[in-house]
């Protein structure tokens, strides 16, 4: 079945530093979604990318979908303590089943 | 803002017992899902449900699991004979639509199931 690999597993940054998590697949993806899960919380949808080479921004967050639609990244500029949590990429097939990456745990030191 | 709700927030049960986890999806949503997350691990798909039937299920969703939409608002996950390895957080989710177009899935707060 479709799988997405996500790295790094864990990142600890100083507040104000940037953060990036990467998601890769061996097969072409129809879409990529990004979710954030705060400690003890539930996944919350951030964004969906569907087009080759697509780039979307949400304030300090920049999301990219690769030209071949096999990889994606989430970049956070100037992290804040409110950014802590686990960031998951996910992809679905026909809207019926989300396959999640392993997630990247972000910790921010203030 | 409308949200998915789940009850109970925490369920403790003995191995071999049956449990029913309850969810109320967002009212105008048509697709419903169950996922689970073992502590510290990734979120895993269990089952999707549309038009009163299962549309897709994973290999985890074996004969001990079943889902039901008993009325117009509730969506339940039943685990017939719980095992220790069923201990996890179970998330319900719903989306406005599905099919070939992908839609944002809204997750509930989860039910933590502990099997002893």
Judging contacts by C-beta atoms under 8 Å, the chain B residues touching residue A33 are 102, 104
pLDDT in tens, B9-35: 999 999 999 999 999 999 989 999 999
Identify all chain A residues contacting B109, using CB atoms and an 8 Å cutoff.
41-42
For residue A50, which phi and psi values (nearest 5 degrees)? -130, -20
CB B83 within 8 A of CB B15: yes
- Predicted confidence at residue B99, as pLDDT, reads 57
* Residue B23 pLDDT: 98
Which pLDDT does position B102 carry in this prediction? 62
Chain B touched by A22 (CB under 8 Å): no
Mean pLDDT, contiguous 10-residue spans, chain A (110 residues): 88 98 95 95 95 97 97 98 97 81 96
Residue among A18, A27, A20, A35 at smallest CA distance from A101:
A35
Cβ of B42 within 8 Å of Cβ of A103? The answer is yes
pLDDT in tens, B48-62: 999 899 999 999 999
With a cut of 80, say whether residue B78 has pLDDT above it: yes
* Nearest-CB residue to A45 (from B44, B58, B104): B104
Asked if the model's pLDDT at residue B84 lies above 90, the reply is: yes
Contact B33 A103 (CB under 8 A): no
pLDDT at B100 over 60: no
Buried b (16+ CB within 10 A) or exposed e, B48-67: bbbeeeebbbbeebeeebeb
Looking at the complex, does the CB of residue A16 fall below 8 Å from at least one CB of chain B?
no
Among partner residues A37, A45, A50, which is closest to B105 by beta-carbon distance?
A45
CB contact under 8 A, B109 and A41: yes
Token match 């061996």: residue?
A26
């Amino acid at each position: 079945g479709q799988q997405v690999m996500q790295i790094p597993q864990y990142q600890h940054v100083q507040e104000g530093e940037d953060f990036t998590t990467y998601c890769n697949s061996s097969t072409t993806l129809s879409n990529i979604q990004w979710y954030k899960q705060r400690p003890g919380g539930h996944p919350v949808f951030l964004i969906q990318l569907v087009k080759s080479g697509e780039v979307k921004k949400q304030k300090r967050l920049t999301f990219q979908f690769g030209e071949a639609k096999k990889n994606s990244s989430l970049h956070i500029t100037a992290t804040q303590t409110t950014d802590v949590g686990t960031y998951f990429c996910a992809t679905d097939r026909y809207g019926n089943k989300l396959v999640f990456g392993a997630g990247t745990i972000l910790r921010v030191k203030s | 803002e409308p949200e998915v709700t789940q009850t109970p927030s925490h369920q403790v049960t003995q191995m071999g017992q049956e449990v029913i986890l309850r969810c109320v999806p967002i009212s105008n949503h048509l697709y419903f899902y169950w996922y689970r997350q073992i502590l510290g691990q990734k979120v895993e798909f269990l089952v999707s449900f549309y038009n009163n039937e299962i549309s897709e299920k994973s290999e985890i969703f074996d004969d001990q699991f079943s889902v039901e939409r008993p009325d117009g608002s509730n969506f339940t996950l039943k685990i017939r004979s719980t095992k220790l390895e069923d201990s996890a957080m179970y998330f319900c989710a719903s989306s406005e639509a599905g099919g070939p177009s992908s839609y944002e899935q809204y997750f509930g707060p989860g039910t933590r199931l502990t099997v002893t």
